Amino acid sequence: MASAPRLEIRDLWFDYEADTPVLRGVSLTIEPGEFVAVIGQNGSGKTTLVKHFNGLLRPHRGQVLLDNEDILHHSVGALARRVGYVFQNPDHQIFGATTHEEIAFGPVNFDLPEDEVEARTVDALESFRLTEYADVQPAMLGFGLRRKVSIAAVYAMQTPILILDEPTTGLDWKSTSELMQLIGELNRQGRTIILITHDMRVVAEYVPRCMVIRKGEVLIHDSTREVFRQAELLESTHIQVPQISQLGRRMVTLGLQDGILTVPEFCDAYNDLMSGT
Amino acid sequence: MLRGVDFAVEEGEFVSIMGPTGVGKTTLCLGLNGIVPQSTGGMIKGDVTVNGLNTKRTLVPELARYVGLVFQEPETQLFNMTVEAEVAFGLESLGFPPKEMGERVEWALSVVGMDGYQKRSPFSLSGGQKQRIAIASILAMMPKILVLDEPTASLDPLGKTEVFSVVRELRRQRGMTIIMVSFESERIAEFSDRVVVLREGQVEMQGTPDRVFAQVELMDEIGLAVPQVSELAYTMNRRYHTTYVFTQLEEAYQKLTNNSGRPWRRDSG
């Protein structure tokens, strides 16, 4: 895998209908190897924004740069080798006759040698625990499995930047944790991961950085702990931090350490508070 | 898929159904209004009785008078040009006279807090609003039982709260029976009377949210999340030999601050 490029957005504007801009002058930089959650209300422009990162949408004004190069100079096909995109709805993506074929599709289209295609496909099947479904038609699988197939297919393309649009929707907590651990592993290998989600518990437990979108603008882009401390700002966009962070926040006036993200963190902080350290 | 599921829901109860991905929750929901097996086929053993009617022997349109079904994705349920037409659609197909239809549409929209949106396109609305329109279109047919299959899965937190609040009001004010499939353990703890947990096609346990969410290890084994405060109680009990049971934020706050706004001190030694 090539090392991840720096992704930069400069003054990006976009609308689907004239005079109702969905993105209003977005500027941001996502560093190589960054693992960032994109959060915000339904309709705030999250999906529209990330669809610019791989050229699925072209800006009406502004620029999208990969390593300082405007992506307008690249075809969607060429960009697909650098930026992988997992759709929100797996059924918008799945069409293969078998799960194996579905996953091999990307690598085949990259004109990779046959043994490389096979190696990547087998690796993806194993990593997502899909081997037993290799010969099954993916459209016939249950929702959770279809979701995994759609991610495995993009995983096999081994793009240095991976975008996932609400990948944990409809998954139980166990499948969610397994998936997030796998995504964390991809990040540790050096990939840039951009994750759209409404699940703040997923963000708190697995995603180190966070970007808040409100009405087509980036409100804040910082560490998750710092973002989750901004109570008023989050309230203005109806984001609720996880229950344990809410509890922690209510006890800050009693001396509890600020910025609690997880249950073990709360326990430690509460213990410190009680023992007076 | 389902292998000997047994449970009963009383009139006016709010029951949440939890279960891992692929356990058959949707199949169960479709079984409650006869779509399974009447439209889908499949083998069914045992009986589903709704308001005394057996779903194998009662046609789906007849059952629809008693059971309304709301699905996960509001988009797949909305297809009319205006909110008004959307909500009237079911009544129209049942041949209601225009006057009564108009009254019911207005009533259903006001119940879900969407009065005034009659002429809007459903597609211009937020996720939570769309799902409330989907609920209104079912309500217009005035079923006694509302079955919702992960109605908030694709919604943001505001949308989730909107939907849960509307459902709670339907139960409080109209005495409707609510059966909701959801993973939202924290909202389930706040809103529902009883939780039924499915595992491998069977009922693994059922009870009040307090009882079910105290089973932290079992829920974890099944692959389901409990409210974070329940996990907190469990972790504190393990670490400090306390005997906490929390299912809601307020409760955890009160007990951890000993009701006095000060942190509770455990006995030393």
ipTM: 0.87
Span between the terminal Cα atoms of chain A, in Å: 47
Residue pair B18/B220 in contact by the 8 Å Cβ criterion:
no
| Claim to verify: residue A188 and residue A252 sit in the same structural domain | no
User: Mean pLDDT, to the nearest integer, of B162-176?
Assistant: 89
Q: Evaluate if residue B267 carries a pLDDT over 70.
A: no
B17 strand-pairing partners? B181, B196
**Token couple for A26:** 């977005």
Give me the residue from A166, A240, A267 closest to B239, CB to CB.
Answer: A267
HSE, side-chain direction, 13 A CA sphere, residue B58: 20
Give me the residue from B249, B263, B266 closest to A246, CB to CB.
Answer: B249
Residue pair B114/B136 in contact by the 8 Å Cβ criterion:
yes
**Among the ranges given (A123-127, A271-275, B36-40, B96-100), the one the predictor scored with the smallest mean pLDDT:** B36-40
With CB atoms and an 8 Å threshold, state whether B183 touches A173.
yes
The strand pair at A217-223 and A209-214 is best described as antiparallel
pLDDT recorded at residue A1? 63
- Residues B55-99: tens digit of each pLDDT: 888 888 888 889 999 987 777 778 889 999 999 998 888 889 999
| Claim to verify: residue A79 and residue A206 sit in the same structural domain | yes
| Claim to verify: residue A223 and residue A248 sit in the same structural domain | no
**Among the ranges given (A134-143, A167-176, B22-31, B252-261), the one the predictor scored with the smallest mean pLDDT:** B252-261
pLDDT recorded at residue B269? 34
| Claim to verify: residue A32 and residue A165 sit in the same structural domain | yes
pLDDT recorded at residue A184? 96
| Claim to verify: residue A160 and residue A194 sit in the same structural domain | yes
| Domain boundaries defined on chain B | 14-208
Query: Does the beta carbon of B1 lie under 8 angstroms from any beta carbon of chain A?
Result: no
With CB atoms and an 8 Å threshold, state whether B156 touches A255.
no
pLDDT recorded at residue B106? 94
Instruction: Return the number of other C-beta atoms located less than 10 Å from residue B264's C-beta.
Output: 16
Least Cα distance to A5 among A112, A76, A82, A102 occurs for A82
Angle, nearest 10°, between helix axes A173-188 and A143-155? 0
| Claim to verify: residue A73 and residue A146 sit in the same structural domain | yes
- Residues A8-18: tens digit of each pLDDT: 999 999 988 88
Reported as a pLDDT band with limits 50, 70 and 90, residue A2 is low
Cα–Cα dist A54/A67, whole Å: 13
| Claim to verify: residue A181 and residue A264 sit in the same structural domain | no
Cα–Cα dist B146/B170, whole Å: 9
Query: pTM score, two decimals?
Result: 0.89
Q: Evaluate if residue A157 carries a pLDDT over 50.
A: yes
Assign domain B14-208 to its CATH architecture: 3-Layer(aba) Sandwich (3.40)
With CB atoms and an 8 Å threshold, state whether B235 touches A264.
yes
Q: What is the DSSP letter of A92?
A: G
| Claim to verify: residue A247 and residue A198 sit in the same structural domain | no
**Among the ranges given (A42-56, A164-178, B26-40, B175-189), the one the predictor scored with the smallest mean pLDDT:** B26-40
| Claim to verify: residue A191 and residue A275 sit in the same structural domain | no
What range defines the domain where residue A253 resides?
Answer: 242-277
With CB atoms and an 8 Å threshold, state whether A172 touches B154.
no
**Token couple for B186:** 């924290």
- Report how many domains make up chain A: 2
- Residues A203-255: tens digit of each pLDDT: 999 999 999 999 999 999 999 999 999 988 998 998 999 999 999 999 999 99
| Claim to verify: residue A100 and residue A194 sit in the same structural domain | yes
**Position A178 in a domain:** yes
Q: Evaluate if residue A179 carries a pLDDT over 70.
A: yes
- Residues A110-127: tens digit of each pLDDT: 999 999 999 999 999 999
Chain centroid to Cα B48, Å, comes to 19
| Claim to verify: residue A79 and residue A167 sit in the same structural domain | yes
| Claim to verify: residue A227 and residue A99 sit in the same structural domain | yes
Nearest CA in chain B to A198: B156
- Label residue A119 exposed, middle or buried (CB < 10 Å: 0-12, 13-18, 19+): middle
